[in-house]
A and B are shown apart, each in its own frame.
Chain A
Amino acid sequence: MEVSGLPVSASQRAKLASAGYTTLSSLSSISSQHLARDLNVSNEEALQILNVVMRTGRFSDLAGASIVAGAQSAWDMLLEEEHNKHITTSCGDLDKILGGGISCKEVTEIGGIPGIGKTQLGIQLAINVQIPVDYGGLGGKAIYIDTEGSFMAERVFQVAEGCIEDMLKLNVSQLKDVETLKEKMHPNTFLANIFYFRACSYTEQIAVINHLEKFVSEHKDVRIVVIDSVTFHFRQDFDDMALRTRLLSGMASKLMKLAKQFSLAVDMIGDAEILLQSGSVFFDTTKGVVILNQVTMKFTDGSFQLTLALGDSWSHACTNRVILYWNGNERHAYIDKSPSLRSQSAPYAVTSKGIRDVVSNCKRIRMM
């Protein structure tokens, strides 16, 4: 490995290079005093460089060997995946295509046109993550990052009531249980377990996401992070699209790290799950998409297509991508991208109690 790849400051790197230290091996057996003299820096600084070298070196040494630090065999991953928890969406059909619900440890992006129910789904998940373990839930807490100001506490209360009602129905046979549940479960408890951040600019949004790591380490029972929506601030105030892409990808990698890291550090308790809810959805595709269509040969249609916002490089950022859309008179969710799930769609409904299954024989009142 080259010295130029070391995570040290630019001037230190230059000094190392000019003193002839170009490879890591040249630094591997050298004392800090020696290095300090060669580079003409303080002993502490030299020691610091050597520390960095050691850390990097250990990794690269192992890379040569068969077992790599931090890596997992595919078999172990399979075993772990079986323990992987899912957060139900309260809609059976939707859970089915998602393999049991929104998966922990993964970043899921959900998009759809305005009014399709993105915020509703976000709220529903923030409530459902709190279903106690006895009732097949995770008993966790939720972080809700609101960039659009569309989070309404009254609605969260309604959804929480609906959720408790359903739990009571499930357990109607065990009467005494119902009593204790009723005592324990109050919509207010649910509300108290949702940590809400209102980000008013993209700077704040980045700050919240940077801060999450610390916040989550203080609140280990957080199991879901909902960002509603990642797009809003990034669609305005940006002239420099390259900067936007850099910031977004930085954000995505932090979120992915957050999703993964905690299940390793704090066994099974703290694996915060990220649901990236991409809100703003498609360009009403004019210019940008026309070029795209030419490439994908869909220009023959001469029509516009819907696609999720923030562009192509962003579309790589999330592990799963779910698109909500209207299919005839029903709301459907479609798995647009997932490494493990089939691309298929399922209907869902938004009711006064929250996200639910579509009742097929429901009375359809149509407007003339």
Chain B
Amino acid sequence: MANKIISQMPLPKSISHKFAARNVLTAKDALSMTEFELMELLDVGFGEVASAIAQISEIVCPPCQTALELMEERVRDECLGSRLPTRLRGLDDALCGGIPFGVITELVGPSGIGKTQFCLKIALLAALPTSHGGLNGRVIYVDIENKFSSRRMIEIGAKSLPEIFHKEGMAREMAGRILVLRPTSVSEFTDSGDGSDAAALLWQRPFTFGCVAVTLGIFLLLQSSLQQIKLSVLEHQVKLLIIDSMAGLILGDLEGDLKIFKQHPLAWHISFIKSLAEFSQIPVIVTNQVRSQSCEEVQYSFQAISKVEAPSNQERVESRLVASLGIHWAHAVTIRLVLEADSGQRFIKVTKSPISPPLAFPFVITSSGISLISDEGIEVKGLVINTIHGQGCSEIFASAGKSYD
């Protein structure tokens, strides 16, 4: 809507010509200027500019819906499925049925906690036929850190859904629907000429390649062909997008050099992924790593007074875990699930959700993937909601007999 052509709008001829003559072609161009700038540029009086802007605005303005209409729409969609159940009953109940379509759901947690396990399971569930509660669609799995394991995925499937996976050829069909994209080399694609061509090539035949490179660079190229991705997602019945992990994709320490990253790569990734989710109405799951930060709480200036009273023993620098993509990214995700370990127990915690209260569910990882110990969530209060516990991770691994270093 933002790129609507002004000359095609029913504006008075005289002013419409002036817009064209001054190279103000789209609504975006016009609305990116203040009225006074336009008066100067178009050489017309305030009244005319104001009425033209009002008209343009009215045309560009997205349609108005009442919340009731939204609700009814949602109920209608419910038949087609508007949520992807995780099959973790407690979590599904908390999220009103599962992972919602059209928004970003984020998994945050220390390494080895089970983010990838969660993703593998979800990918499988989305690929299942609708008769078995799946979405019967393809899944794009962007595997940045080379952690995707087909063997493990099939194992999870066979253990958790034996009735489906013991059917002849089923495992093959299900696994065939999950398309894994791995970054191999940027140059492969950037060197192949015009960026948008590469992007087009990639997205015209994305499913003939078993594995294609997706990197930051490619994502940048893809911006130019957002429309194509949208089409191809719809055309090819892609029902789920998983990015494991977003932090790996963005590369480098974001917080360290905010000046560079603030407006660019991350910023448009956010809009890109968000709009992809929204326009194709598919669930998008991304994972995020953690990094440690000095223990000191980041506060508002008005809180500083109380901070003075706090004992300042800077000698022993404690550190705590925070999500590696900063606060800017955190605002963009609609649902944030934190996977953490505390006192030798793993928890999955709903820390941000428009519908669910902050709940924590203890879980274990078994051969059939993640399973909740209890479907009754523990309500979490206060600061604990946002903290990520990493202690006791090693104990778990030790007891699970895994090797760690």
* A residues whose Cβ falls under 8 Å from a Cβ of B: 7-12, 48, 52, 113-115, 119-120, 126, 144, 148-158, 188, 190-201, 203-204, 206-208, 210-211, 213-215, 229, 231-233, 235-239, 243, 246-247, 250, 279-288, 296, 298, 301, 303-307, 323, 325-326, 328-330, 334, 336, 343, 350-352, 364-368
**Residue contact B386 to A208, C-beta cutoff 8 Å:** no
Q: Does B54 contact A (CB under 8 A)?
A: yes
Query: Which of B45, B299, B353 makes the CB contact (< 8 A) with A305?
Result: B299
**Residue contact B68 to A192, C-beta cutoff 8 Å:** yes
Please name the residue on chain B nearest to A304 by beta carbon: B298
Specify which chain B residues have a CB less than 8 angstroms from the CB of A9 in the assembled complex: 39, 42-45
Known interface pairs A8-B45, A196-B65, A203-B27. Does A120 touch B354 (Cβ–Cβ under 8 Å)?
yes
Query: Which of A149, A201, A229, A301 makes the CB contact (< 8 A) with B103?
Result: A149
Known interface pairs A279-B331, A285-B298. Does A328 touch B342 (Cβ–Cβ under 8 Å)?
no
Q: Does B79 contact A (CB under 8 A)?
A: no
Q: Does B327 contact A (CB under 8 A)?
A: yes
Specify which chain B residues have a CB less than 8 angstroms from the CB of A153 in the assembled complex: 67-68, 70-71, 74
Known interface pairs A153-B70, A195-B64, A207-B31. Does A364 touch B381 (Cβ–Cβ under 8 Å)?
yes
Majority SS at the chain A contact face? mixed
Query: Which of B58, B328, B353, B378 makes the CB contact (< 8 A) with A365?
Result: B378
Q: Does B191 contact A (CB under 8 A)?
A: no
Give me 17 other A-B pairs in contact (C-beta within 8 A), A148-B331, A191-B70 excluded: A7-B39, A7-B46, A52-B45, A151-B354, A152-B354, A154-B74, A192-B67, A196-B70, A200-B1, A203-B2, A207-B62, A237-B268, A282-B298, A306-B301, A323-B302, A325-B300, A326-B383
Query: Which of A188, A280, A286 makes the CB contact (< 8 A) with B258?
Result: A286
Best-buried of B74, B299, B381 by chain A (most CB within 10 Å): B381
Specify which chain A residues have a CB less than 8 angstroms from the CB of B328 in the assembled complex: 235, 280, 283-284
Query: Which of B34, B100, B262 makes the CB contact (< 8 A) with A246?
Result: B34
A-B pairs, 10 with minimum CB distance: A329-B382, A210-B57, A115-B352, A203-B2, A236-B267, A207-B60, A191-B68, A194-B67, A153-B71, A7-B46
A-contact bits for B328-370, CB 8 A (1 contact / 0 none): 1011111010000011010100011111011010000000000
Within 8 A of A (CB), among B267-320: 267-268, 270-271, 274-275, 278, 296, 298-304, 307
Best-buried of B62, B65, B74, B386 by chain A (most CB within 10 Å): B62
Specify which chain B residues have a CB less than 8 angstroms from the CB of A52 in the assembled complex: 45
Specify which chain A residues have a CB less than 8 angstroms from the CB of B64 in the assembled complex: 195-197, 215
Query: Which of B65, B68, B270, B383 makes the CB contact (< 8 A) with A328?
Result: B383
* In the bound complex, CA of A237 to CA of B265 (Å): 10
Query: Which of A199, A208, A211, A367 makes the CB contact (< 8 A) with B342?
Result: A367
Please name the residue on chain A nearest to B70 by beta carbon: A153
**Residue contact A298 to B301, C-beta cutoff 8 Å:** yes
**Residue contact B304 to A154, C-beta cutoff 8 Å:** no
Known interface pairs A207-B57, A207-B61, A237-B268. Does A367 touch B380 (Cβ–Cβ under 8 Å)?
yes
* In the bound complex, CA of A224 to CA of B157 (Å): 50
Specify which chain B residues have a CB less than 8 angstroms from the CB of A158 in the assembled complex: 355
Interface range for B: 35 or more
Number of A-B residue pairs at CB separation under 8 A? 263
**Residue contact A281 to B57, C-beta cutoff 8 Å:** no
Within 8 A of A (CB), among B371-385: 378-385
Known interface pairs A114-B330, A305-B300, A306-B298. Does A204 touch B62 (Cβ–Cβ under 8 Å)?
yes
**Residue contact B258 to A288, C-beta cutoff 8 Å:** yes
Q: Does B259 contact A (CB under 8 A)?
A: yes
* In the bound complex, CA of A238 to CA of B271 (Å): 12
Q: Does B326 contact A (CB under 8 A)?
A: yes
Could you tell me the distance in whole angstroms from the C-beta of A176 to the nearest C-beta in chain B? 28
Query: Which of A237, A323, A330, A367 makes the CB contact (< 8 A) with B347?
Result: A367
Could you tell me the distance in whole angstroms from the C-beta of A217 to the nearest C-beta in chain B? 12
Please name the residue on chain B nearest to A8 by beta carbon: B45
Q: Does B169 contact A (CB under 8 A)?
A: no
Query: Which of B96, B275, B331 makes the CB contact (< 8 A) with A154?
Result: B96
Within 8 A of A (CB), among B88-120: 96, 100, 102-103
Query: Which of A152, A196, A304 makes the CB contact (< 8 A) with B355?
Result: A152
Known interface pairs A207-B56, A286-B258. Does A155 touch B70 (Cβ–Cβ under 8 Å)?
no
Q: Could you jot down 27 A-B contacts, CB within 8 Å?
A: A10-B40, A52-B45, A120-B354, A151-B67, A188-B71, A193-B66, A194-B67, A195-B65, A200-B275, A203-B60, A208-B62, A211-B54, A211-B57, A233-B271, A236-B268, A237-B267, A279-B331, A284-B298, A286-B255, A286-B258, A288-B259, A303-B298, A307-B301, A325-B300, A329-B381, A329-B384, A367-B378
